[in-house]
Structure 1
């Protein structure tokens, strides 16, 4: 991706998440589920540990990390998200840094752990990202991350494809790209585990409201055309092909949970 288009893309992503900062927690049950699976891999006692929460959002996991005794650096692309994080984590040992994960402002091997849940799918260049993260963790430090893989939200993607030819669902990294980035970053050991997680909805519109509510609405390369009500109705009809016997509609996420030891 060209540098200018990449910068414009990140600005649009930050704006989308910023608009959703105050509604995020209401719509983020899936995000919390994945984050809890990830944080379970970290030590229960993080006293005297410096932890970078990369893509901290509203600070739900920054708070939990701090309550484990960690000195937390909450890092996010969106200033509005960081403001929500500050409200949640006041009186805890948390500092706040706004920036782009692909242009980290940190120097030296200063972090014991990096925790990043469902953030790196918004990054363009995974090998460079992993290498830069390896550069800021201490020897034997660990990076824990979760991300979405290609194939996520295939039901929504398929339903929109029956309505028009525009892109309505983001493209995600393939597992092969994750493994290549981990291998190129070096380190003593790395692993990536994959799983499918299905969230059930009463309607396709409810799913789309959740996506809007967390700010996951920026689609790279999509035009700014307004979505017509008739198109939404057509998607709702197309989505019915996936419903179960209870009339519920699935949203399937392909999730990768990975770690790397320096």
Structure 2
């Protein structure tokens, strides 16, 4: 998806209720398989301006609260807000602390007052928002002048090995769709926020077999959530065909799964 209008088409991305339910179910298993998420989030933390000292910060799409706690340690727990659309994730994160308030909310309609935050941090969450322009508008609204929006997301090219392997099997939608990097560039440029940095980097994970990858995606709550996905159980013959197709990608380290990660730091003008 590289066209701005496509990003808003109904059904182009998973329904947010299904996203919330899927991640709620994955709350207890998520951290055990979240190596990619921890690595990407840490790189985003490292990209924050060295001079930033927010009076109030928000972890947008906080999940299990791993980076809520990191932000709380860095900037002060009493000044922090953690927001997620998945109640199950909030129930898992809240007892572990890291922020003063844990809030159930939608990134496209933030339940916060205007100019109330100095920093909005969001790692690997906004790819699930069908209307990213609304996310940017809401972040612009809640940030104070000079405030920073730092986010990571996933874009087209993510899990292309799995997608291409399934295409050889049945042509159905088995892999989550993501926006093109060009769409992120266009929407960020049009957001009214100054683009401090915006880049797209590959992050490759390796697995001994296809089952290892699909098990991890399910444990993360990030398995196939697309409209048009096949219903019911996947037959043994199709699974064997998938395994055979994926073997063409095998490397010395194992079967690769490539994630195309967007890293962005934006600033609200003074």
TM above 0.5, yes or no, is yes
CA contact 2:27–2:64 (8 Å) conserved in 1: yes
| Closer, same or farther: CA 26–48 of 1 in aligned 2, 3 Å | same
List alignment gaps of at least 5 residues for structure 1. none
CA contact 1:47–1:68 (8 Å) conserved in 2: no
Give 1:1-20 correspondences, 5 Å limit.
9-20=15-26
Task: List per-residue Cα deviations over 1:113-156 (Å, max 9, x = no partner).
Answer: 00000111101112221111111001000000000010110000
Are 1:149 and 2:150 an aligned pair? no
Q: TM-score of the superposition, structure 2-length normalised?
A: 0.89
- Residue 122 of structure 2 corresponds to which residue in structure 1? 116
1:84 to 74, 92, 97: 92
CA contact 2:176–2:226 (8 Å) conserved in 1: yes
Whole-angstrom CA distance in 2 between matches of 1:53 and 1:153 = 26
Q: TM-score of the superposition, structure 1-length normalised?
A: 0.92
Give 1:11 shift.
0.9
Secondary structure of residue in 2 paired with 1:219: coil
- Residue 230 of structure 1 corresponds to which residue in structure 2? 237
- Residue 160 of structure 1 corresponds to which residue in structure 2? 166
| Closer, same or farther: CA 6–232 of 1 in aligned 2, 3 Å | closer
Which of 1 and 2 has higher RCO (CA within 8 Å, sep 6+)? 2
| Closer, same or farther: CA 140–44 of 1 in aligned 2, 3 Å | closer
CA contact 1:150–1:254 (8 Å) conserved in 2: yes
Whole-angstrom CA distance in 1 between matches of 2:199 and 2:31 = 26
Aligned residue pairs, count = 258
- Residue 73 of structure 1 corresponds to which residue in structure 2? 81
Give 1:8 shift.
8.5
CA contact 1:17–1:214 (8 Å) conserved in 2: yes
